[in-house]
């Protein structure tokens, strides 16, 4: 390798030398910011600016399909209007109920499967792949598949289930037409699609638990039930926390499944906050109300995640 002698180096312009001194590696205060600048600019562009713009829109009166209405500052009116709107409260209740039910069932099913597959089963690796298929499917495709499975009179499920119930003299099961059954049908499909995620996360968590506590428990003659509650669950807590937080945030924002299968109906039985948001923003083009609603949704998700993390962390600390 040939190194140039200092005297042979190209002359550096005094201005460039000044820039280097100000922003280069020698300036330990500024240089890290220089390195991070591209990332920060992108983050600002795609994260912070839209957030600030949402705040701006939510503070005004903007209806995109009515550009002739004056854009006036309305302060907190949009939030106030939402809180007064029974549709909002209905959608919030529906969303929370959907999230709680779906995540609860997915968690216990996923955990059960993970525990089952912890044992050495024949063909486990092939079965694992099959179990993961629903999660791999794009949510839109999964929703469409089930939409047609439950299609009134002609879907695979409605056809066979209808055949059985008719034979029993009960008539058709209104899978997507009865408010309660339609809601449960959506939960069923969500569970079908996302239990594999819980399974995957909890399997990884189980694999990371050391063997020694189990061996000690075995020597002490602890029952498997006691082992599960006193060793497995506490040591699995970090994995449970991540899996539950991710799934809760995801279930809270479920959109494709509901829009494809019921579009929020029948009536407004399956109208969640996301469906309500889309209707407000993209059917009535009320950008201000939609922005306020999306900010409220964001706050709810942040608070829920915070609560989860606090609860799990305090319990983990107590266990330690």
Partner 1 sequence: MKYIRIGGAMTATFALSLVTAPAVLAQTEAQKALAGAEIRFLQPSMPQFAALGKFIPEFEEKYGIKVIVDEVPFDQYRQKSLVEMQQGTGTYDFYAVDVMWLAEYAAAGFLDPLMPYVKNPDLTEEGYDIDDFLPRVISGTGVYNDTLYTIPLGAGPVGTTFRADVAEQAGFKLPERFSPEFNTQYMFDAAKKVNNPESGMIGFANIPGRWFWGVTYLPYLYAFQTPETVGNEYLDKDWKVTINNQNTIDSIDYFVSLKEFMPADSANWGIGEATAVYQQGGAFGVWNYQDFIKGFFEDPATQAAVAGKNVHLHTPSGPHGVIDPWFGAWSFGMSKDSKNKAATWTFIQWITSKEIQERATEFGAGPSRHSTYKSETLAKFQPWWLPVYDFMLKDTNPDERVRIPEWAEISDIMGEEGNRVWIGEIDSATAAANMETRMTAAMKKGGYYIPGRTDLPPQNWRDLTYYDRLPSQWK
Binding range to partner 1, per CB under 8 A, among 1-9, 47-55, 206-214, 258-266: 258-266
- 24 lies in the binding site for partner 1 (CB under 8 A): no
Q: Within a 10 A sphere around the Cβ of 295, how many other Cβ atoms?
A: 18
- 172 lies in the binding site for partner 1 (CB under 8 A): yes
| Closer residue to partner 1 (CB): 63 or 209 | 63
- 152 lies in the binding site for partner 1 (CB under 8 A): yes
- Determine which helix (DSSP H) or strand (DSSP E) holds 100, and give its type and residue range: helix 86-118
Single residue of 176, 201, 277, 295 touching partner 1 by CB under 8 A: 176
Min. distance of Cβ 172 from partner 1 in angstroms? 4
- 291 lies in the binding site for partner 1 (CB under 8 A): no
- 265 lies in the binding site for partner 1 (CB under 8 A): yes
Are the C-beta atoms of 308 and 244 separated by less than 8 Å? yes
Single residue of 64, 83, 307, 319 touching partner 1 by CB under 8 A: 64
Which letter does DSSP use for residue 28 in this model? Answer: T
- 66 lies in the binding site for partner 1 (CB under 8 A): yes
- 88 lies in the binding site for partner 1 (CB under 8 A): no
| Closer residue to partner 1 (CB): 203 or 274 | 274
Are the C-beta atoms of 196 and 132 separated by less than 8 Å? yes
- 285 lies in the binding site for partner 1 (CB under 8 A): yes
- 163 lies in the binding site for partner 1 (CB under 8 A): no
Residue 39 dihedral angles phi and psi, to the nearest 5°:
-65, -45
Cα–Cα distances (Å) from 196 to 146, 178, 219, 239, 253, in that order, read 17, 28, 34, 14, 18
List the beta bridge partners of residue 63: 286
DSSP 215-262: HHHHHHT--HHHHIIIIIHHHHHHHHHHHHHHHHHHHHT--HHHHHHT
Binding range to partner 1, per CB under 8 A, among 2-10, 98-106, 127-135, 256-264: 256-264
Cα–Cα distances (Å) from 304 to 99, 150, 293, 307, in that order, read 11, 33, 16, 5
- 283 lies in the binding site for partner 1 (CB under 8 A): yes
| Closer residue to partner 1 (CB): 65 or 224 | 65
- 189 lies in the binding site for partner 1 (CB under 8 A): no
- 158 lies in the binding site for partner 1 (CB under 8 A): yes
- 286 lies in the binding site for partner 1 (CB under 8 A): yes
Cα–Cα distances (Å) from 260 to 68, 151, 263, in that order, read 33, 12, 6
Residue 277 dihedral angles phi and psi, to the nearest 5°:
-65, -45
231 class by beta-carbon count within 10 Å (0-12 exposed, 13-18 middle, 19+ buried):
middle
| Closer residue to partner 1 (CB): 147 or 237 | 147
Give the residues lining the site for partner 1 (CB under 8 A): 63-69, 152-153, 158, 171-179, 262-269, 279, 282-286
């Amino acid at each position: 390798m040939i190194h140039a002698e200092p005297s042979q180096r190209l002359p550096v312009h005094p201005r460039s030398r000044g820039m280097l001194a100000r922003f280069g590696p020698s300036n330990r205060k500024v240089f890290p910011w220089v390195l991070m600048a591209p990332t920060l600019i992108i983050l600002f562009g795609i994260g912070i600016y839209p957030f600030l713009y949402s705040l701006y829109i939510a503070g005004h009166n903007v209806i995109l399909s009515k550009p002739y209405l004056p854009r006036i500052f309305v302060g907190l009116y949009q939030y106030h209007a939402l809180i007064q709107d029974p549709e909002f409260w209905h959608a919030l209740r529906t969303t929370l109920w959907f999230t709680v039910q779906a995540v609860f069932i997915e968690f216990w099913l996923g955990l059960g499967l993970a525990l089952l597959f912890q044992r050495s089963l024949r063909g486990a690796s092939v079965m694992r792949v099959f179990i993961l298929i629903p999660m791999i499917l794009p949510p839109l495709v999964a929703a469409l598949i089930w939409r047609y499975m439950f299609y009134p009179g002609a879907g695979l499920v409605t056809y066979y289930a209808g055949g059985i119930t008719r034979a029993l003299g009960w008539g058709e099961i209104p899978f997507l037409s009865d408010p309660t059954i339609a809601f449960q049908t959506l939960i069923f499909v969500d569970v079908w699609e996302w239990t594999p995620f819980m399974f995957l996360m909890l399997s990884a968590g189980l694999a990371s638990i050391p063997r020694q506590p189990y061996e000690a428990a075995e020597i002490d003659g602890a029952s498997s039930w006691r082992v599960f509650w006193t060793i497995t669950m506490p040591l699995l807590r970090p994995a449970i926390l991540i899996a539950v937080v991710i799934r809760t945030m995801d279930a809270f924002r479920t959109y494709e499944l509901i829009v494809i299968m019921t579009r929020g109906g029948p009536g407004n039985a399956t109208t969640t906050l996301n469906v309500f948001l889309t209707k407000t923003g993209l059917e009535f083009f009320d950008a201000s109300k939609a922005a306020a609603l999306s900010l409220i949704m964001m706050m709810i998700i942040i608070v829920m995640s915070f609560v989860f993390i606090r609860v799990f962390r305090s319990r983990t600390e107590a266990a330690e």
